[in-house]
C-alpha cells in the first residue's frame, strides 16, 4: 500500500493509478495459471506408434500446419473476441465484487451480530436454569461410590 503513493518536491501526495500500470509483454502468465491446461503441442495431440509411420515429408508438413494454424487461429480469435470477452469478464468480476462488498459481507456481519445477541441470551438461560440443576445433581451423586468386583 505504501508503494501506491509518491511524493514530489512540493511534498504533495500523488496517487498512482493501478489501472494504468505497465504490463509485462514477455511473461504474460506470471502466476502460471495456464501451465497444465493450454500448453498443447503437436506431440501431445498427434503421435504415430512404431510400425505405423507416414512419409517424413507428410509428418514435417503436418507438424508445420498444426503449429502455424494453431498460432494464427489463436491470434485471429483473440484479435476478434479478446476485447469483448475481457469486457464481459471484467463486468462479471465487477458484479461479483459489488455483491460481495455490498451484500455478502454486510449479511455475514449482521448474522454475526445477531448470533452474538442470541448467544448471550442462551448463555444467560444456561447459567440461570441448567447450571444450578446440574450442580445439584453433582452434589447428589458426589457421594456415590462405585466398586467393581470380579466374581468367579
Q: What is the pLDDT of residue 34?
A: 76
Query: What is d(CA 79, CA 44) in angstroms, rounded to the nearest whole number?
Result: 26
Rg (CA), the chain: 35
Rounded to 5 degrees, what are φ and ψ at 105? -60, -45
5 strand-pairing partners: 15
- Picking from 22, 5, 23, the residue whose alpha carbon sits closest to that of residue 14 is 5
Q: What is the pLDDT of residue 20?
A: 64
Cβ atoms < 10 Å from Cβ of 107: 10
Q: What is the pLDDT of residue 6?
A: 52
Query: What is the mean pLDDT, run by run of 10 residues, along the chain of 152 residues?
Result: 50 58 80 77 86 90 94 95 96 97 95 91 92 92 87 78
Q: What is the pLDDT of residue 2?
A: 47
Global pTM reads 0.54
Amino acid at each position: 500500500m505504501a508503494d501506491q503513493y509518491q511524493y514530489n518536491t512540493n511534498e504533495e501526495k500523488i496517487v498512482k493509478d493501478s489501472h494504468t500500470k505497465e504490463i509485462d509483454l514477455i511473461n504474460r502468465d506470471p502466476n502460471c495459471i495456464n501451465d497444465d491446461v493450454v500448453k498443447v503441442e503437436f506431440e501431445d495431440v498427434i503421435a504415430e506408434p512404431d510400425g505405423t509411420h507416414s512419409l517424413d515429408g507428410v509428418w514435417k508438413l503436418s507438424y508445420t500446419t498444426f503449429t502455424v494454424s494453431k498460432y494464427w487461429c489463436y491470434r485471429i480469435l483473440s484479435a476478434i473476441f479478446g476485447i469483448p470477452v475481457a469486457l464481459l469478464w471484467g463486468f462479471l468480476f465487477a458484479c461479483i465484487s459489488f455483491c460481495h462488498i455490498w451484500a455478502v459481507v454486510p449479511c455475514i456481519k449482521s448474522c454475526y451480530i445477531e448470533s452474538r445477541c442470541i448467544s448471550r441470551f442462551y448463555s444467560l438461560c444456561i447459567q440461570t436454569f441448567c447450571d444450578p440443576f446440574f450442580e445439584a445433581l453433582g452434589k447428589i451423586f458426589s457421594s456415590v461410590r462405585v466398586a467393581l468386583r470380579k466374581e468367579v
